[in-house]
Structure 1
């Protein structure tokens, strides 16, 4: 964001990251670009995650769907036409820049709707944001009156210094401003500065900008209603079920036994058995997975002492066993085999210790 001043990035709980900055003479399209640069990529990222979730399986699929649904929900919410959301900033820029006092009314409506939505949903954060907007309304009205007075004076405020002189001049002549101390006057002038320096959008710019905004906010709504009704009503859980159903229509289960028989040596046979166990584990067919992992471990009995492929088979067996005590036995056996592990192989030790800790936590 070239030429922007006082840039800051901060995190709003449950809403995400937000960037703030100031460019007092930014054009309407520059402001529009800044406001849309956050939520639009987020919507695209969410849609891409949902799309590719249908082409994956297991934990990756579940993660993509949950992350995609969260990204879509948060960024669509951020596009709603209420201040201080980005969608509200877009509407403010295109419709209310010309009329500062109408902007104050827009802030009041946004505050009321946010608090109403917060009370309806029980979301304290929405109530807090709405209350803060309402608390700032007197200052907003003071800023709007100041900006309106400077505009009506006809003074050329294209330069920052000249604009500030005009603002302080109006404040000095205003009876209402007499009650303000110097820091309050400075804050009022700084808040009004962008309102008097920013170029008001032309009618064609307003129409084009609103058309773009309506398209961006309508596209996810149209996509949502174009979904299958059961998926639309059920949300992420049903999307996951639909993705699993789509996977079920894919090619049938590989002929693992034929692949085992075709393996040229013990190492290849171990790899096929481990792959077969993983395939059935991801399909939640745990009985079949247990059988293949057990056979993979039995193959390692012919390997050299200390071969870590036996550890991999033990860890796999621990993941799918029905009995926690048996899982602990497998992990302890794996730890014994890892006693002399070096380098990157020590990462397996960390994985086993973490699994044992989780098992003990669940047991307690």
Structure 2
């Protein structure tokens, strides 16, 4: 292991441990210092760790972390996670959500705040029975731009129907919110496709669907394909299917649909001979939320740092109780009992009933309204 790789591994472990303690009530990290001449006051953390701290705790690392060097040991004191924001409260700390969306021609890994907004949007649509409506577009665009996007989508749809292409022929459409073009010159084409596929499938499924076209130059729109001696088309289709089927999906609906996609391998000819293949993956929009992989968020469980699965991460982020993900919360949960002494009213929480923030420490509230019966004078 090289020094740079070792350093990245150590930094990664420290960040994961900090995240786990933030999400588990706080704690202390003790690290042994190999460099006997290291002095925290003079040398600081180093750029890599400071960047990671800022990514994990933007503008708030000083609020949650304290540091101390004692001889050749370094201590990081971690406080419990409490995110104070003007918008929705983030109940859990995360390095990244690994929920992707398209933003014009970019594929964006959503922040935890934006991921929470998307999850609530999806949940709300499911509850209102409107999950098949078009998804919210990430940018406000003019009508002419919307029409251009729809034209590109139509051209890509027609492109999918083709059975063969010519080497270096030029497509009549470009990249857009719904189209991503990729060209690989590497010999290891299948591993590269498996590496980048999850984030594009997640982005398209979470943003109106789209087409990933592999083998076309994104600058010139020219067809090159993946050379036939470097890729087995049958194996490639199987690898793509296996990769997509493994992606985590958080479902709000009871149907729990799979990711709907189509893969097509198109032959590319050069001088009347089969030269290469273009691979097209069409991804349909999904009513639920697709992850590229489990979120980069950790907790401390049985004294071990454990990465959260997408299912638990969403449940913690949204405070969803088991079996309640697609259900509407009742406005009132009140029951009453009448007797000669009056009316006794039970409620899970008065604050919850009148729309205030729920106090998890309150199990049940009771109110006795006495019977106002008076004996005649």
TM-score of the alignment, normalized to the shorter chain, above 0.5: no
Q: Smaller-chain TM-score range? A: under 0.3
Larger RCO: 1 or 2 (CA < 8 Å, sep 6+): 2
Bigger Cα Rg: 1
